[in-house]
């Protein structure tokens, strides 16, 4: 089955065409249309390891962006499809499903209403995700549309993990609680690890680390998320590219008061001006920071140190939450490609049974590998993620499960 995966943000549409079936999934093409709202934007599309097309385009809205994506997929230079009707399903990345969605959902009017109900929880994401859905439904009315939520995997969190110690009535009224994100990626790491061990996922206690621009960790017991580092929004938890992660709320109030910052400016400062970028004052990009730190830049070195230290603290916390762990797993641009960061995170954790094999760690860049020393009690793995592929698989899974229910 050919599945179009759409990730519609405020300024761009990322897309991928995935062929799924018989346990063999392949990315046929992927691309990016940006910036939305521009008369002089760019549409690009490529076949992995093959041809690439880039063309200038006027992109007033999501509708035009998705139309461009479909046109490029069918162009002879790309040739991923002959006609749009070949696309049987569309998987939509939806950031926030609140507490309404434990699983991906085939989109119906009721599902759209439920997603609209979650807009207040993710005002920067859900409206654009939805606008992409409406546009693609108009362009591909024959296809099945499925919403795949970043939050769904974490709906198994117990109340003690998702409740903030704020006034209960207020939290209930405004649905303020921890939800967690990157669910598709954490779930993939757990399931893939179990597959590699040849045993059911229910047999493992796992600590998974998604380290990209956004970063989060998850404690997984018997295949279920029992705690995760992101909260009501993706701001909580680890230090990220431009997000602060955990910070004393009183420090935020202090800055707002003394700098006379509006809510909007403080929001931008926490989400776009903090994290690795905020500490270093140089970049949100780990590669750049590693280079600067190697040349003796102290702030770059500090940013990296704070980043790794926070991850180590969460490993300790989740080890306690799970009462032990079989493995710690890394993924994301940093988790997959930065042996130096994995080394710093894992050093001197032998009390938890964690010991890296230096050579294995150094050699594992962008590929699946066991990084641990032979006799390490807690294994450490790198398992690359491919979020588009995962969304395509979840889309097919949702359609199969809906098919079973209506049969």
Chain residue at closest Cβ approach to ligand ADP:
333
Closer to ligand ADP at the Cβ: 338 or 369?
Answer: 338
Say whether 349 sits in a helix, a strand or coil: coil
How many Å apart are CA 56 and CA 64, to the nearest integer? Answer: 13
Residue 287 CB, shortest distance to ligand ADP, in Å, is: 4
Closer to ligand ADP at the Cβ: 214 or 245?
Answer: 214
Angle between helices 286-294 and 298-322 (to 10 degrees): 120
Closer to ligand ADP at the Cβ: 287 or 367?
Answer: 287
In degrees and rounded to multiples of 5, residue 297 shows phi and psi of -75, 120
Query: Which one is catalytic: 22, 99, 117, 150?
Result: 150
Mark whether 150 is an active-site residue. yes
Residue 288 CB, shortest distance to ligand ADP, in Å, is: 7
How many Å apart are CA 20 and CA 26, to the nearest integer? Answer: 7
DSSP 61: S
- The terminus-to-terminus CA distance of the chain in angstroms comes to 20
Say whether 351 sits in a helix, a strand or coil: helix
Residue 182 CB, shortest distance to ligand ADP, in Å, is: 9
Residue 371 · residue 356 · CB < 8 Å: yes
Q: Which residues bind ligand ADP (CB under 6 A)?
A: 212-214, 241, 285-287, 332-334, 337-338
Closer to ligand ADP at the Cβ: 79 or 366?
Answer: 366
Residue 303 CB, shortest distance to ligand ADP, in Å, is: 11
Closer to ligand ADP at the Cβ: 212 or 231?
Answer: 212
- In which order are the strands placed within the sheet that holds 105-106? 52-59, 38-46, 26-34, 13-19, 2-8, 87-94, 144-149, 105-106
Residue 341 CB, shortest distance to ligand ADP, in Å, is: 7
Active site residues: 150
């Amino acid at each position: 089955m050919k599945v179009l995966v759409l990730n519609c943000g405020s300024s761009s549409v990322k897309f991928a065409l995935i062929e799924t079936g018989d346990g063999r999934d392949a990315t046929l093409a992927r691309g990016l249309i940006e910036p939305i709202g521009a008369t002089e934007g760019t549409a690009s599309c490529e076949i992995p390891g093959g041809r690439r097309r880039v063309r200038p385009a006027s992109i007033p809205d999501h509708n035009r962006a998705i139309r461009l994506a479909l046109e490029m997929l069918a162009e002879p230079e790309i040739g991923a499809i002959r006609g749009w009707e070949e696309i049987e399903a569309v998987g939509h990345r939806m950031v926030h499903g609140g507490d309404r969605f434990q699983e991906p959902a085939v989109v119906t009017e009721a599902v759209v209403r439920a997603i609209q109900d979650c807009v207040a929880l993710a005002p920067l994401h859900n409206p654009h995700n939805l606008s992409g859905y409406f546009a693609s439904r108009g362009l591909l009315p024959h296809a099945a549309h499925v919403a795949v939520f970043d939050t769904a995997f974490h709906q198994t969190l117990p109340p003690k993990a998702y409740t903030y110690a704020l006034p209960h009535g207020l939290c209930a009224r405004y649905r303020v609680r921890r939800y967690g994100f990157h669910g598709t990626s954490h779930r993939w790491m757990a399931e893939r690890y179990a597959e590699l061990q040849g045993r059911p996922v229910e047999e493992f206690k796992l600590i998974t680390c998604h380290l990209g621009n956004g970063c989060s960790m998850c404690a997984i017991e018997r295949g279920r998320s029992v705690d995760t580092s992101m909260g009501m929004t993706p701001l909580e938890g680890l230090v990220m590219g431009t997000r602060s992660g955990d910070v004393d709320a009183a420090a935020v109030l202090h800055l707002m008061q003394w700098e006379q910052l509006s809510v909007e400016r403080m929001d931008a400062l926490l989400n776009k001006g903090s994290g690795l970028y905020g500490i270093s004052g140089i970049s949100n990009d780990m590669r750049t920071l590693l280079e600067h730190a190697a040349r003796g830049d102290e702030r770059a070195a500090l940013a990296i140190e704070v980043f790794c230290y926070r991850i180590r603290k969460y490993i300790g916390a989740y080890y306690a939450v799970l009462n032990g762990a079989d493995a710690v797993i890394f993924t994301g641009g940093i988790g997959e490609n930065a042996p130096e960061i994995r080394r710093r995170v894992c050093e001197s954790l032998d009390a938890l049974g964690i010991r890296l094999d230096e050579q294995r760690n150094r050699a594992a860049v962008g590929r699946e590998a066991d990084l641990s020393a032979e006799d390490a009690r807690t294994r450490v793995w790198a398992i690359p993620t491919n979020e588009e592929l995962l969304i395509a698989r979840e889309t097919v899974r949702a359609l199969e499960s809906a098919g079973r229910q209506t049969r």
